[in-house]
Homo-oligomer: A and B are copies of this chain.
Amino acid sequence: MHSNDGSESCTDVLIVGAGPAGLAAAYWMAQYGIDARIIDKRGTKVFTGQADGLRARTQELFDSMGIQDRVSRECKNATEFHHWNPDGKGGLQRSAGTKFSKESYFKSRFFISGLNQGRIERFMLDAIKEAKPDLEVERGIIAETLECDEQLAADPESYPITVKLRALSEEEANPSPAYGSSGVRDGLFRSNLSPDDWEDLVNKSKARAGATEVVKAKYVIGCDGAHSWTRKQLGIKMEGAATDSIWGVMDIVPISNFPDMRHSCTIKNDAGTILLISRERGLMRLYISLASADDPSKPVDRSTISLDMLKTTAQQILHPYEFDFKICDWWSAYQVGQRVASALSDPADRIFIAGDACHTHSPKVGAGMNISIQDGFNLGWKVASVAAGLSPATLLPTYALERHPVARRLVEYDRHWSRLFLPAAERRQQQQQQQQQQQQQTAAAAVASTAVAVLGKTETETETETEPEKTKADDFASISARFEDFAQGFALDYPASVVVDKSSSSSASTSARHRHRHCRLIPGERFWPAKLTNQADGRGVWSTAAMRSDGRWRVVVLAGDVGVGVGVGRPRQNTTTMARVAALCGELERRVVPRFGGRKVVDVMAVHCGDRGGLSVFDFPRLLRPVDGERGVDYDCVWVDERVEVDALDRHGEAYAAWGVDREAGAVLVMRPDQCIGWFGEMEDVAGMERYFEGVLKPVL
């Protein structure tokens, strides 16, 4: 802690919990240079086990954070999925599997990948440290009280929140006992089978008069997990219910003659179900259904759960194949349940919750950590930009507006997915339970749409998507297909708001509306990634890496076909298009960019589809080749959508076709700091773009 017993200090943002959601939020504090703190009740970070599934969009975001190459190097891609069922003769047989599809690859170059949470947190911590070396996680610190002065909250400069922090002793902060003599860490203490230990820890620390500190904060972000203490202080309820199903999970190096032991697959027989996930370093993760040893139809007695019991159950399910292990990295158990928080913030938008604090579900869909990271990634820059004085506080309600529907859809996905792992009888029983839940949820959705109305929005389509739907075919393939775009993070579905302007295309001319009808660059969705070629040096870079998540808004000029040249110095430019680009850049340079704080707040880059060889950066407007006194021209502002025949790394070109952007007309868009499109329009609609910026940034001129 910064100070000792009873002392008081101020911080702009306090993040409670340093898991994936908390670290994603902290990443933005580092990028914006915010005076922030991040605390965690545990004495050490997670090293093994926990979440491990990485979806495509998360990897795209990691690319924009500069850490994806480390992930790619260590992770295990899951490109195929198999299913094993009883063969009717006491054995198992493989039925048709699924493969990573061409369609999916068209949407993103990243596969679903497995890598343990410990490594992912390591990479995020390193990215934070690189941008702001003094923003370190303070471990073994717990929050004890939280108060918010509602009157003060009206003043954006005030510190309305008071949090009392308490330092835990080493024993309190490190509760995990080693497993048997092997020294394997079990993860039960982080499992939802364990009772919440927050109050207990606070009381213990009080009893021995542990050091305390009072912190005054402008904003608090609670990323403190399924038992979220922050959520409880706000009185936010979790809606939904648990089932009786209990699952074990372990990361082991298998010794087995099961033919698919290095493959991701499901194995189902009378003894139960295993979900097998292929992992890095020879590890396999097994999710194993657990039932009472005496009566398989009854729930397991929680006190009997042990690593040996998990092994025995796995052996029964994998019979007649052999299964054993000597190396276990981590194991745990959890109860299946699906719950969503009734709100994601306090009414004043000073205190927020993100990650597991908002949505709890079974881990088997491999999406939880992703959604948590994306929660933190959505919330962090908004809080940071407001705290830095760059943006108005009206940005803040858009967090819940955008992420609450995602949380609901996540648990809906999990509800369908988890049900597939149950025996038929149990499945029916759960469906009944869930009808009740869905009724509750419909009520919640009504409340939410009221909230939206209060914010001046009428958009509710995203809400209707969470309505119960008849599952056409109750199997893995159809559930996967139905939720794939959501689970991979391809479909964000963010509604219209101050940060998402959906009106730009409708205000344009009829021809423009027609032209961009099939456009895949949609406000409220991700910027569809493309491999771009650098105009100046010809190197290929993915847009996710070229457009770094550095806190800046980014005007992306889709300049179209600016010319067919015959050699540098003698270009036969498409003078009409180049003149339009010049006019746009002139207005951006004179008016828009300086008005909203200059290039350190609003960056500008161009992607054209002309002939690179016939052009040089000096053919483009000055705004697209800024000069630094020491480093010369910034050559990374002009990019080309170019078909490259050979590339050692991956595909190139045809970005305009993938985007659905007309090569003659071009377009221009604004990308938010979190890689989501905020505004899209014609190159001539500078006024429309400026209006959008007026809503999200405070003009300085």
Q: Hey, which bits of chain A sit against chain B, CB under 8 A?
A: 69, 73, 76-77, 79-80, 93-94, 100-102, 105, 109-111, 253-257, 259-263, 278, 282, 325-327, 534, 536-539, 567-569, 616-618, 627, 629-633, 635, 645-646, 648-650
Contacts and interface: CB of A to CB of B under 8 A. Distances in A.
A156 B207 CA distance: 74
A85 to B, nearest CB: 12
A327 to B, nearest CB: 6
Given A262-B635, A646-B105, A648-B111, A538 B569 contact: no
A325 B102 CA distance: 47
The interface centre, meaning the residue of A262, A534, A635 with most chain B CB atoms within 10 A of its CB, is: A262
A79 B631 CA distance: 24
9 contacts: A93-B567, A94-B567, A109-B648, A254-B632, A255-B631, A255-B632, A256-B633, A263-B538, A326-B629
Top 4 nearest A-B pairs (CB, nearest first) are A259-B616, A262-B537, A255-B632, A262-B536
The interface centre, meaning the residue of A77, A254, A632 with most chain B CB atoms within 10 A of its CB, is: A632
Contacts of A261: 536, 632-633
Nearest to A103: B646
A343 B534 CA distance: 47
B76 A539 contact: yes
A327 B630 contact: yes
A499 to B, nearest CB: 30
Contacts of A648: 77, 105, 109-111, 650
A102 B633 contact: no
B538 A255 contact: no
B539 A569 contact: no
Contacts of A539: 76-77, 79
A630 B79 CA distance: 27
A105 to B, nearest CB: 4
Given A326-B629, A327-B630, 7 more contacts: A93-B569, A94-B568, A94-B569, A255-B630, A256-B632, A259-B568, A259-B618
The interface centre, meaning the residue of A326, A646, A650 with most chain B CB atoms within 10 A of its CB, is: A646
Given A94-B567, A618-B259, A80 B538 contact: yes
A534 B282 CA distance: 13
**How many copies altogether?**
2
A622 B29 CA distance: 55
A618 B322 CA distance: 13
Contacts of A253: 630-632
Contacts of A102: 645-646
A631 B282 contact: yes
A148 to B, nearest CB: 45
Contacts of A649: 649-650
A631 B278 CA distance: 15
A186 B337 CA distance: 66
Contacts of A569: 93-94, 259
Contacts of A326: 629-631
Contacts of A94: 567-569
Nearest to A325: B632
A618 B257 contact: yes
Contact of A79 (B255, B538, B567, B633): B538
A278 B537 contact: yes
A627 B73 contact: no
Contacts of A632: 253-256, 261, 282, 325
A447 to B, nearest CB: 42
Contacts of A646: 100-102, 105
Contacts of A633: 255-257, 261
A80 B259 CA distance: 47
A94 B567 CA distance: 7
A660 B278 CA distance: 34
A510 to B, nearest CB: 38
A225 to B, nearest CB: 32
Nearest to A645: B102
A574 to B, nearest CB: 18
Contacts of A259: 568-569, 616-618
A528 to B, nearest CB: 16
A441 B124 CA distance: 59
Contact of A568 (B69, B100, B260, B282): B260
Given A255-B627, A630-B326, A648-B109, A263 B618 contact: no
A77 B101 CA distance: 30
A421 B650 CA distance: 35
Nearest to A256: B632
Nearest to A110: B648
Nearest to A254: B632
Contacts of A282: 631-632, 635
A230 B633 CA distance: 47
Contacts of A260: 568, 616
A47 B597 CA distance: 39
A321 to B, nearest CB: 10
A229 B632 CA distance: 43
Contacts of A327: 630-631
Contacts of A630: 253, 255, 326-327
A174 B635 CA distance: 37
A242 to B, nearest CB: 34
Nearest to A281: B631
